[in-house]
Chains A and B, each alone.
Chain A
């Protein structure tokens, strides 16, 4: 049998074996590959985590996730180290995507991250209207709200978005706040309260949009988007 094949021609043997392989196994392997990739994609969509703070220009979350290839150029170029990578605990799809972390720096809207983004996940933005998120006073941690006296955030805010109420406690003007994170970066509560185990800041920037996944949307508590004003 083999002898005969050899005398036919080498090309024929080669083609025959290749064709045999492709016809039967290609469908099978395609099936397996599709199941694996669609399971991964489906799991990612279903397990989409909480909304994250994105670098400026990446506020449309669905658009952002469609384009981000997790190359880390924005994170690397950020001169204030305000951009970090989301962790696996932030969600399967969110893992490794850039997110803001204001404990090491704040955003000065230098646009370097937008410049280096290869896929346009971070889009060119207007500095006056861009909104990374909104600062939210954590009334149980904020020194002024708990004890009084501290006015650091309202002094440091470059956009005059934090005013003091009649008891000299900070209140955020959601219109003016663009989520630059200076207040969170400067907040001293996590240092001054550290002796009681506090490691959180008294004012934290939260994402404005909440386009979570199907699961996140189903599980989301029915409540208004952040009524923080007292």
Chain B
């Protein structure tokens, strides 16, 4: 693993830990900062958009001040995409603790055996002269070498719809009961209760158990199940900033005809930045920068302003 990749991952973990730490301190010292379900100071706060939609449907009320909150979340997501998922949400941090992996591995994308060899070869391609492959390779050759994509069933949007429908029918926010973000804070509170008030509760076993089931049994929580992520993805379809962009004049595949695909393999959401063959859509990008730090020629950037010529359709 290269130094840049390690640094970005460390930064992400640091950012998640900082958010968790500040909110935990707020809990311990009674500052009313709340949890990620609704965090802020006094009347200024941001609330979970899924929590908002669920409670609005359950109470049949637009919940006036929260509408503004929801619109702010929508605005932030349009501006910077699903940055919450990659840099704030404590779930990747928990995954790091439990499985020693910050992101879910991309197993939708299966490079063929010989492809991997080619990939190794591609890394050393710098030494090869420019006229490499491109003219020599025939398009049919490329397609034969293109790896297979395993079919993926994504539950994000179905779970989102089902959670909202269930909240409307049963008249309480249903998904909140099993939300790993909420349960993380509930577990922290159970610990505070144990050490601060000498009050051991069953919560201390049940809440972490639910989180562990979600992380270990359901495995691909973030990319396949999380309805909050699915909701943010829907909004971030309008995201135009910090979108990973391939500089096609540097990219090995584009320029030298190598079958690199390292960026797609690195992406936990299986987004193919070059021709959209992946099972992930660009709106699912959580800005984790794995693609950029994995690229052997640093061809991927996250520009603040969209550059039409390099942007992928």
Contacts and interface: CB of A to CB of B under 8 A. Distances in A.
A161 to B, nearest CB: 28
A72 interface: yes
B34 A76 contact: yes
Contacts of B45: 73, 116, 118
Nearest to B272: A14
A29 B169 CA distance: 20
Contact of B182 (A13, A70, A118, A119): A70
Given A3-B143, A14-B276, A65-B171, A92 B203 contact: no
B124 interface: no
B66 A3 contact: no
B154 A29 contact: yes
Contacts of A176: none
Interface string B34-60: 110111001101011001101100110
Given A33-B162, A71-B34, A77-B30, A44 B176 contact: no
Given A26-B158, A28-B153, A89-B202, A73 B174 contact: no
Contact of B55 (A26, A42, A72, A119): A119
Contacts of B154: 29
B189 A40 contact: no
B155 A32 contact: yes
B166 to A, nearest CB: 4
B117 to A, nearest CB: 20
A115 to B, nearest CB: 7
A75 to B, nearest CB: 8
B249 interface: no
A72 B37 contact: yes
Contacts of B35: 71-73
B47 A76 contact: no
B204 to A, nearest CB: 9
Interface of B: 26-27, 30-35, 37-39, 42-43, 45, 47-48, 51-52, 54-55, 58-59, 61, 63, 65-66, 69, 139-140, 142-144, 149, 151-155, 158-159, 161-163, 165-167, 169-178, 182, 185-186, 189, 193, 197, 201-203, 206-207, 275-277, 279
28 contacts: A10-B276, A14-B276, A29-B153, A38-B165, A42-B170, A63-B59, A65-B58, A66-B55, A67-B58, A69-B38, A70-B37, A70-B186, A72-B35, A73-B33, A76-B33, A77-B30, A84-B193, A85-B189, A85-B193, A87-B203, A92-B177, A115-B42, A116-B45, A118-B66, A119-B52, A119-B55, A119-B63, A119-B66
Interface of A: 2-3, 5-7, 10, 13-14, 17, 21, 25-26, 28-30, 32-34, 36-38, 40-42, 44-45, 62-63, 65-79, 81, 84-85, 87-89, 92-93, 95-96, 104, 112, 115-116, 118-121
